[in-house]
Structure 1
Amino acid sequence: MEKEPAGIAMTTGNGIGIRNERSLHAALKQWYALPEDRFEVPLEGFVIDLVRGEQLVEIQTRNFTAIRPKLQALLAQYRVHLLHPITLEKWVVQVDKKGTQTLSRRKSPAKGCLTDLFEELVRLPELINHENFTMEFPLIQEEEVRCKDGKGSKHRKRESLRDRRLVRVVETQVFQSNLDFLQFLPPSLPQPFSNKCLAEATRLPLHRCRQITYCLRKMDAIVVTGKRGNELLYEW
Structure 2
Amino acid sequence: MRKKTESHTVCQSVDKALFSEACMQMIGALQGQNGIGTLREKTIHSVLKYYYAPNPAYHEIRIGTYVADICVDGEIFEIQTRNFNTMRDKLSFFLQNHDVTIVYPVAHTKWLSWLDVETGELSDKRKSPKTGTFYQIIPELYRIKMFLQNPRLHFIISLIDVEETRYLNGWSYDKKRGSSRMDGIPVDIYDEVRIDTMKDYHKFLPDTLPARFTTKDYAKCAHIPQKYATTGLNVLLETKTVVRVGKMGNAYLYEKAAESEK
Equivalences for residues 1-236 of structure 1 within 5 A: 22-35=42-55, 37-95=57-115, 104-148=124-168, 150=169, 156-157=176-177, 159-235=179-255, 236=257
**Structure 1 unaligned runs (5+)?**
3-15
Contact between 1:39 and 1:51, CA under 8 Å: does it hold in 2? yes
Q: Distance in 2 between matches of 1:145 and 1:203?
A: 27
Aligned residues: 219
Deviation string 1:10-69 (CA, Å, 9 cap, x unpaired) is: xxxxxx979x96211111111111437511122222221111111011000112122232
**Structure 2 unaligned runs (5+)?**
4-28, 34-38, 258-262
* 2:101 partner amino acid: H
> Hey, what does 2:19 align to over in structure 1?
none
CA-atom RMSD, angstroms? Answer: 3.0
Q: Distance in 2 between matches of 1:111 and 1:193?
A: 25
> % of aligned pairs identical?
28
Would you tell me which structure has more helix in proportion to its own residues? 2
* 1:44 partner amino acid: G
* 2:205 partner amino acid: L
Contact between 2:148 and 2:238, CA under 8 Å: does it hold in 1? no
TM-score, normalization by structure 1: 0.79
* 2:80 partner amino acid: Q
Q: Distance in 1 between matches of 2:220 and 2:127?
A: 30
SS at structure 2 position matched to 1:192: coil
Deviation at 1:142, TM superposition (A): 0.8
CA change 1:101–1:35 in 2 (3 A) is: farther
Q: Distance in 2 between matches of 1:145 and 1:95?
A: 7
CA change 1:45–1:145 in 2 (3 A) is: farther
Deviation string 1:116-175 (CA, Å, 9 cap, x unpaired) is: 221322212342321211110111111222233x4x677944533222211111111111
CA change 1:153–1:87 in 2 (3 A) is: farther
CA change 1:66–1:156 in 2 (3 A) is: farther
TM-score, normalization by structure 2: 0.72
